[in-house]
Homo-oligomer: A and B are copies of this chain.
Amino acid sequence: MPQKPSIPKGTRDFSPTEVARRNYIIQTIKKHFEVYGFQPIETPSFENSETLMGKYGDEGDRLIFKILNSGDFISKVDDVTYSSKKSSSLIPKISEKALRYDLTVPFARYVVMHQNEIDFPFKRYQIQPVWRADRPQKGRFREFYQCDADVVGANSLLQEVELMQLYDAVFTDLKLKGTTIKLNNRKILSGIAEVIGAKHLLVDFTVALDKLDKIGEEKVKEEMKAKGISEAAITKAAPLFDMSGSGLEQLTQLKSLLKESEIGLNGVTELEEIINTVEDIGLKTASLKIDVTLARGLNYYTGAIFEVSAPEGVQMGSIGGGGRYDDLTGIFGLKDVSGIGISFGLDRIYLVLEELGLFPERLDQSIDVLCINFGEKESLASLKLVGKLRENGVKAEVYPTSTKMQKQMKYANNRKVPYVILIGEQELSNAQFVVKNMTTGAQETFSMDNLGSFIEKLSS
C-alpha cells in the first residue's frame, strides 16, 4: 500500500498564493534594504556544531537541529561513551553539523572568516530560513525565515536613525500604517539598576520590568521582590511604572531619575539624540515611542534597543526588533567590532497584512491570459501568439489539451485569469483572435497583426 504522505510538524508547504504573498513582503523588505545601501550575503543552511553550540544558552542548544554524520557513524563512537547510553554524550560523537538557529551567529562567523575581503563599515542583509526544534504553536514554526539588516564597524548614532527610517519605509510601502517603534537603551536599564542599588540584579530586574505590559505593575513588583530586590529599591524605581507624556517629558523624568548614574545619563543622551534627529527628518507612517520597559534579550544588546508593534487593534506580538551590540564577533576572535541590526518578522507581518486585507489583489492573479485549446492547428497558432505576448512580459499560456471548452473555462476561472483568448477555426482562417474579458463577459476581436493594441489594453 502506498504511504499516505505528510510533512513534519512545525513545517509548512506554501501554495502559489502563499508564495506570492510571502515574496511580496520579502521583495519589499529587500528593495528597501538595498536602497539603504545594505548588501546581501548568504551562509550555508548548516554550520559546524561548534559554531552554533553554546551561543544561545542551554535552552538554545537543545533547540538546535543536529545532523547525523554520514556513513557508519556509530563505529566511531568509543565503547565507554556508547555504553553510557546518554544522548548528551553521544551527540558530539555522532553529529558534527547543525542547522542554522538564527542569522546573527552565522553572520558573526562570516565577518570573522571574511574580514580581509570586507570593506568596513559593512552593511549586510540576509534573508534566509532558520530552524528551531521548538514546540510548534500558532505563529511559531520549526522552519521560518528571518530578514535581518546589520551594520558592523560603525558606532555613530546615524545608524540608529537610519534603521528607524528603514522600518518606517518598509511598513509604509506595505501600506501598514500606524506601526509603533518602541525605543529603549540598555544603558538606561543599567543606570536604573544602579541608582536603585540593584546593579547585581540587573537581569532579574529587567526581565521582570519587561513583563509590565502583560502582567501589570503589581505582579511585576511581586516578581522583583521574589528575586531579592528590596522594597526600597522598588519604591525608588516607581517612576518607571507610570512614565507618561511626550517623549520630551519622559526624557526629562528619566534625567531626573538617573541624575546620579553616568551610564544612565549617557543612555538618555543617546535616546534624546536619536529621537530629535528622527523627528527632524520625520517618519511617514510609523511613530516613535520611548519604552523603558523594553529589554529583548538584554545580555545581547549594549546600546539602543527597538521593537516594532503592529497598528492598534491588531492582536500580534512584535513584528520587528533589534538593537546595538558592542561585541558580536568577539566569540570568534575579532574584538571591538560594534554592530547594530534590525529584523523583520515575516510570518507575523504576513498575518497582520492578511488580517487587515492589505495584500494587493494582483498577487492572486497568476496568469494574465489563457488561450483556449481548440485542437492541433489552432493551438499551434495560439502558441505563436502566446510567444509574442510572453516576449512582452505578459504571463500567458495555452491550455495543454483540446479538452471540453467548459473544463478549460473552469480552469480559467479557478486561476482567476482576467482574459481568455479564443482562436477557433474561423479566427484561424481570418488571422484574428477573440478576447473574452472574464469579469464583464465582453468579447472583442483583434487582428493577429495588431497585437500591440491588445497588449496596450492589458497594461492599462
**Residue positions of A touching B, CB distance < 8 A:** 1-8, 11-16, 19-20, 23, 32, 34-37, 39-48, 50-51, 62-63, 65-68, 70-75, 82, 85-87, 90-91, 94-97, 99, 109-110, 112-114, 117, 119, 121, 123-124, 129, 131, 133, 143, 151, 154-156, 158-159, 161-162, 165, 169, 277, 280-281, 330-333, 366-367, 370, 373, 379-380, 383-384, 387, 390, 393-402, 411, 414-415
**Can you spell out 14 A-B residue pairs with CB atoms less than 8 angstroms apart?**
A4-B333, A5-B333, A16-B40, A23-B40, A32-B390, A35-B395, A39-B366, A44-B143, A46-B65, A62-B70, A63-B70, A65-B68, A119-B411, A277-B383
**Residues B65 and A41 in contact, CB atoms below 8 Å apart:** no
Chain B residue at smallest Cβ distance from A7: B44
- Also in contact, A35 and B393, with CB within 8 A (given A8-B97, A112-B5): yes
Q: Is the CB of B48 within 8 A of A72?
A: no
Residue of B nearest to A417 (CB): B37
Contact A154 B39 (CB under 8 A): no
Chain multiplicity (copies): 2
Q: A13-B43, A20-B40 given as contacts; is B67 within 8 A of A119 (CB)?
A: no
Instruction: Kindly list 11 other residue pairs between chains A and B, CB separation below 8 angstroms, not including A5-B113, A71-B87, A75-B87.
Output: A3-B333, A5-B112, A6-B113, A13-B110, A13-B114, A32-B390, A70-B133, A74-B86, A158-B379, A159-B400, A169-B390
Secondary structure of the A contact surface, majority rule: mixed
- Residues on B with C-beta less than 8 A from A415 are 119
Q: What are the residues of chain B within 8 A of A95 when measuring CB–CB?
A: 68
Distance between A137 CB and nearest chain B CB, rounded to angstroms: 16
Measured between beta carbons, the chain B residues less than 8 angstroms from A75 are 85, 87
Given contacts A37-B395, A85-B82, A400-B121, contact A281 B15 (CB under 8 A): no
Of chain B, the residue at the smallest CB distance from A121 is: B400
- Name the distance in Å between A439's Cβ and chain B's nearest Cβ: 19
Chain B residues within 8 Å of A399, by CB: 121
Check A68 against B67 for contact (C-beta < 8 Å).
yes
> Which chain B residue has the least Cβ–Cβ distance from A120?
B411
Whole-angstrom CA separation of A411 from B450 in the bound complex: 52
B45 lies within 8 A of A397 (CB): no
CA distance in complex: A384, B398 (Å): 50
Measured CB to CB, the nearest residue on chain B to A392 is: B35
Which chain B residues border A383 with CB–CB below 8 Å? 158, 161-162, 277, 281
- Partner of A67 from the list B67, B86, B121, B161 (CB cut-off 8 Å) is B67
Chain B residues near A47: list those with CB within 8 A: 7-8
Q: Which of B11, B32, B67 contacts A66 (CB 8 A)?
A: B67
- Given the known interface contacts A113-B13, A400-B151, the answer about A90 and B74 at a Cβ–Cβ threshold of 8 Å is yes
Specify which of A7, A121, A330, A379 lies most central, judged by the most chain B CB atoms within 10 Å of its CB: A7
Assuming the A-B contacts A159-B400, A401-B154, are A39 and B13 also in contact, with contact meaning beta carbons closer than 8 angstroms in the complex? no
A387 contact set on B, CB distance < 8 A: 165, 281
Q: Are A35 and B114 in contact (CB under 8 A)?
A: no
How far, in Å, is A336 (CB) from chain B's closest CB?
13
Say yes or no: B70 contacts A42, CB within 8 Å.
Answer: no
- Min CB distance A34 to B, Å, is 6
Taken together as a complex, chains A and B put the C-alpha atoms of A393 and B146 apart, in Å, by 24
Q: Are A45 and B42 in contact (CB under 8 A)?
A: no
On whether the beta carbons of A70 and B65 are closer than 8 Å, the reply is yes
Q: Which residues of chain B are near A370, meaning CB under 8 Å?
A: 37
Hey, which chain B residues are within 8 Å of A99, CB to CB? Answer: 45, 67
Give complex CA distance A37, B86 in Å. 53
Q: Are B397 and A46 in contact (CB under 8 A)?
A: no
A198 to B356, CA, bound (A): 65
A389 to B48, CA, bound (A): 42
| Nearest opposing residue in chain B for A340, CB measure | B400
Q: Which of B72, B119, B384 contacts A414 (CB 8 A)?
A: B119
B44–A13 touching, CB < 8 Å: yes
- Beyond A45-B129, A71-B87, A390-B35, is A5–B169 a contact (Cβ under 8 Å)? no
Shortest CB–CB separation between residue A19 and chain B, in angstroms? 4
> Do the beta carbons of A44 and B12 come within 8 Å of each other?
yes
The answer to whether A5 and B280 have CB atoms under 8 Å apart is no
Which of B4, B7, B13, B50 makes the CB contact (< 8 A) with A3?
A: B50
CB-CB under 8 A from A155, the residues of chain B are 401
Chain B residues, Cβ within 8 Å of A402:
156
